[in-house]
Chain A
Amino acid sequence: MTDSKPDSAGLRAEQYLAPETIGQLTSFELRARMIAEGVMSGMHRSPYQGLAVEFAEHRQYVPGDDLKHLDWKVFGRSDKLYLKQYQQETNLDVVILVDASASMRFGTLRVKQGWGGTDASSRLGTWTKFDHATAIGAALCYLSLQQRDRVGLAVFADGIRAQVKRSNAKNTWRSVVRTLATEPVDDATDLGKVVDQVMATVTNRSLFIVVSDLLVPTESVRAAVARFRHRRHDLMLMQVLDRQELRFDLDEPIPFEGLEGEGRLNVDPRVVREDYLEALTRHCDDLERSARSLGFDYLRLDSHGSVGPAIAALLGRRATLARGGRAG
């Protein structure tokens, strides 16, 4: 990891992981690595215990060790203090699903000279939601490969449009970033169909990470989530929305045109702002409720904001849960 650090590695991780910063990393691979490094440095301890861990052995307690890892059952039986030690799980499959529907083409953060990004953002000149999703997906993929997990990728819209088979081989990373960088962003979203296609190929228990704006009917999301639960898979829903979508603070009347063929609407945004925000809040709440009710994670991300801290917080919470603690 150290040999791949850029010259600016001395900066704080949060700064690296702001879109302005990662956008300047013209190499897609470098961008993913930097995010992953940032995530790991934010976790401080046991960077390789992020996604999934398993008990390995006991060792004797020495002063200074964290008491929460003491095995109290052993202490009860033998009156000796032992710590539980964990070992990385090496056979977990991680499948990253990145939404490449037309709605992901939306973005209002202006791309500056020298930024990289996907083909979509380079055409539009803005940092789109898809750009943000690819950054997240690539970073998570990098993290998983670092833990020797098998990682697969699927880019979807109204169906699986492109995928990279699950593997922990070294060239998997190359395939993933190439796929994300070149895939067109178009068509409507059909989450039900995508889940059907994914379920047909993944039979063993896996961790699915869905990176999408999830601007689809909440019923279809709820049905998809239920199907993951039914197959006993783990799921992380990562909803990426542009700041303009989250705040909707436009100041003058303007016609709106749907990116997925919804048609045109003439409305004064100042007039409908509260109604819009109310509808968006209800939509997001429904998504979160659907995920949490089945024990899954839900994370809403602002495409204008930093990626690392949020992912780090999520992974930290998952690690805590995995160790039997309470999520903060």
Chain B
Amino acid sequence: MTFVTTSLAIAGVAAASIPILVHLLLRRRRRPMAWAAMTLLMEAARRHRRRSRLEQILLLAVRAILVAILGVALAQPLLGERSTILGTRTVHLVLDDGLVSGLVESDGRTTLERQSAEAITLIESLGGNDRVAVILAGSPVRRLVFGPSTDHRSTIRAIEGLTSREGATDLAGALQLVNDGIDETGNQEVRVFSDFRRGSLDDGRRPPPIRNASDVPVELFASPPTDTTDSNTQIVSIETARTPLSTAGAGDLLLVDLELRRTGVLEEGVTNVRLGGDAIAGIENRQVDWPAGRARSRVDFQIRVDEDGGVLEATIDADALPLDDRRVTIVPGREPTRVLLVDREDLVGAARLDRLRGTDWFERALLPSPDTTIVEAIDIDRADPATIDERDLEGVSLLVLGRPDLLPDDFNETLASWVRRGGVVVVLPPGETTIRAWASPMLERLDLPWAVALESSVVDPPRRLPSEQPDSPLTSLIDSEMIELAPSVGIDRRLPVGGVPDGDLVLVDDAGDPVLLDAPVGAGRVVFFAVTPELGWTDLPVRPLMVPLVQEIARQGTALSRRGGDGVVGARTPMFRSKGIARIVMPGMVDREFDGDDPDLPEESGVAIGFDLAGRVVEEAVINPDVMGGLIEPVARDAVEAWLEPAGSWRFTGSGADVLEVVEDRGSLAVILVAVVLALAIVELVLARWFARGGLRNRRSRGLTGANADAEIDRSRREGAAA
């Protein structure tokens, strides 16, 4: 509690002691009076007690009503349509503090600062009994103050301390939180403070219907959508790829691919890009020239990184929205890529090419030449499918399943867990004639919707790979070569696969059926060959496409899975693959014991660090801003209305405090009630004194007289008559 004039409060407290002191000083112990007619007095006291009950009840009622009305008066009840019995209302404020709210406006203030000022103005216009709740819409959505509060001053202070966050705006989540917090106390209304730019509206989610506990819609207000255009450039992604063939020199050559995006006004311009961080020595600079109307651009770097790896940071010139001008990634240290081939050992040997199995061809494609440096960079091991277990997967980056039909029944669970933690598995359908239902249980564990047939079928006439292949992140670096390499591949046999989303297709045949599929699962990936790279199925193993394809699967697959472990503010927690992590520290958050579950969503970008029990750094993971929240294009008012519509009927208000209708008759009822309280206080005083003097029976009679007194009176009368 705070006081406007503290000295007055102290004086008031001190003054309260005065009547106590007076009472103590004037208190005196009365000596009892000896009384002869005690039985009569006791009888009188008994009779009075019975009679005084009614008086006491009357006094009690007056006092109770007096206190009740005083309480209501102090609560400043409001008249008019907004008033309730208690005269309170609850205003749920939704403040957009997502990435887009960090947009610096023409007056130098950010959007969040402007809207915070409007929210503060609104709070200051509320009555003392009105409750206010503040929900922040930047992911992860949270309440600024716990529960609706009448402490407006503290709420304002909390709003004043707000800064924009790097997560995307989640208005739907914020309104869901509002709906969960609506109670039956007084009137309820919701006010959203947002510019409703593209980054604030997620078309994939809609707000819930907002109703109070009695299922009655509450009043909904929103600030008007902005029509101010601006320009923002953001780093959408930073992708690195290190060829396993490259191990030369003091450090590895790293391919770095930055994607830039412009939103808002697309005028001609230049953006300077810098690449730095402790993974490389020095800073690499590039310049991007933007022709008018161009929204996307890619920047490639080829840099030499330290053997131990480190953090690689990309930045661009600060613009209107600075929060998405920086992005980081982790470059791992130089370690051999471990590949595990799981296939049945052929006791006869595979001297003839037509007897080589898919895993054999895969191995040859990974190590196309007997160069010792390559052998050091790729560490290939083999395991039998019937005996493989979780320990075989430790440290493995790429798992190639040549005989998935022979895996133990319980391995599918182990496999799914390993993939979700960042492993890349390549599945090759078995060429054996024995048919087992292996695909469905595995894909079900991996949450993949693909429908795989039980057995392969011969393709007659044989098909070929067309030159036009789907866009896939797995083959993005060999897209240009695909036109020449793909048409040479013929297909004689295939395993039919259905229900494949377009995004999962890597290679398709000329009939449009899938040949190679790829899908992210957790932080890892699943690469599925519908056509096993064996000569009985296809001539791919002996075509030029085989080596670059396998190399890309290994290189891009592992790189993509690593990127899949990066955290995104408010959207995705970073993935830690290493075992033995006991504690993780995320930027802007308190330390958290790591118990295997996903930690809370990150609230700031930076580097999250995993420590073991001894306090040693085991693994690092990066957290980047959610660039989808940085789209600053204005959204038309109709579109915003359509987006908000599921929540109820919205009213767009003007700017500032005029959004709140001022209740003009506030306090008028309080004045009346105070007058009633004063009147009751007087009544109580009069009644209390009257009852203390005997009440209704107080006739002030003279009492009895003795016969001697009667005689004196008679004598006085006689004397008076004689005179």
Interface residues of A (CB under 8 A from B): 14, 102-106, 129, 213, 215, 217, 241-243, 245-250, 253-260, 262-265, 267-268, 270-281, 283-284, 299-303, 305-307, 309-310, 313-314
Contacts and interface: CB of A to CB of B under 8 A. Distances in A.
Contacts of A279: 40, 43-44, 47
Given A246-B706, A310-B711, A313-B707, A274 B697 contact: yes
Interface in B668-714: 691-695, 697-699, 701-712
Given A213-B36, A265-B45, A274 B699 contact: yes
B41 A254 contact: no
Contact of A104 (B36, B41, B698, B708): B36
A79 B33 CA distance: 70
Contact of A257 (B34, B37, B706): B34
5 contacts: A106-B35, A257-B32, A271-B693, A275-B45, A309-B708
B30 interface: yes
B45 A267 contact: yes
Nearest to A248: B703
B44 A300 contact: no
A245 B44 contact: no
A204 B15 CA distance: 80
B35 A258 contact: yes
A326 B43 CA distance: 38
A305 B708 contact: yes
Nearest to A101: B36
A289 B323 CA distance: 108
Contact of B45 (A272, A301, A307): A272
A123 B38 CA distance: 22
Given A255-B32, A260-B38, 19 more contacts: A103-B36, A215-B37, A215-B39, A243-B706, A247-B702, A249-B703, A253-B30, A256-B32, A257-B32, A257-B35, A267-B44, A267-B45, A272-B48, A275-B48, A276-B37, A276-B40, A280-B703, A310-B706, A310-B710
B715 interface: yes
B51 to A, nearest CB: 8
Given A14-B712, A271-B694, A276-B44, A300 B33 contact: no
Given A215-B39, A246-B703, A256 B708 contact: no
* Residue among B698, B701, B706 with the highest chain A CB neighbour number at 10 A: B706
B42 interface: yes
A268 B707 CA distance: 29
Contact of B42 (A242, A265, A273): A265
Instruction: State the 4 A-B residue pairs at the shortest beta-carbon distance, nearest first.
Output: A302-B706, A258-B38, A247-B703, A275-B44
A281 B704 contact: yes
Contact of A255 (B33, B707, B711): B33
* Residue among A241, A248, A263, A268 with the highest chain B CB neighbour number at 10 A: A248
Interface in B614-670: none
Given A246-B705, A279-B43, A270 B693 contact: yes
B33 to A, nearest CB: 5
Contacts of A256: 32-35, 38, 41
Given A259-B36, A265-B38, A273-B694, A280 B704 contact: yes
Nearest to B51: A275
A312 to B, nearest CB: 8
Contacts of B42: 262, 265
> How would you classify the secondary structure of chain B's contact residues: helix, strand, loop or mixed?
helix
Contacts of B35: 106, 256-259
A275 B47 contact: yes
A300 B707 contact: yes
* Residue among A243, A271, A310 with the highest chain B CB neighbour number at 10 A: A271
B191 to A, nearest CB: 60
Contacts of A260: 36, 38
A14 B712 CA distance: 8
Contacts of A241: 37, 704, 706
A245 B709 CA distance: 14
Nearest to A250: B33
Contact of B698 (A254, A274, A303): A274
B33 A254 contact: yes
B704 A284 contact: yes
Contacts of A14: 712, 715
Contacts of A253: 30
Nearest to A276: B44
A44 B292 CA distance: 145
A278 B47 CA distance: 11
A264 B32 contact: yes
Given A259-B34, A274-B701, A300 B41 contact: no
B697 A275 contact: yes
Contacts of A257: 32-35, 38
A213 B38 CA distance: 12
A164 B176 CA distance: 107
Contacts of B45: 265, 267, 272, 275
Contacts of A215: 36-37, 39-40
* Residue among B39, B40, B694, B701 with the highest chain A CB neighbour number at 10 A: B40
Interface string B235-270: 000000000000000000000000000000000000
Contacts of A310: 706-708, 710-711
B139 to A, nearest CB: 72
A287 to B, nearest CB: 12
Contacts of A102: 36
Given A259-B36, A259-B38, A305-B709, A270 B692 contact: yes
Given A265-B38, A275-B697, A313 B704 contact: no
A314 B51 CA distance: 40
Contacts of A268: 692
Nearest to B42: A265
A309 B691 CA distance: 41
B706 A300 contact: yes
A255 B30 contact: yes
Contact of A274 (B694, B708, B709, B710): B694
A291 to B, nearest CB: 13
Contacts of B706: 241, 243, 246, 300-303, 305, 310
A253 B30 CA distance: 9
Contacts of A306: 708, 711-712
Nearest to B706: A302
B707 to A, nearest CB: 4
Contact of A271 (B38, B692, B701): B692
B715 A300 contact: no
Nearest to B47: A275
Contacts of B705: 246, 302
A102 to B, nearest CB: 8
Contacts of B30: 253-255
A93 to B, nearest CB: 25
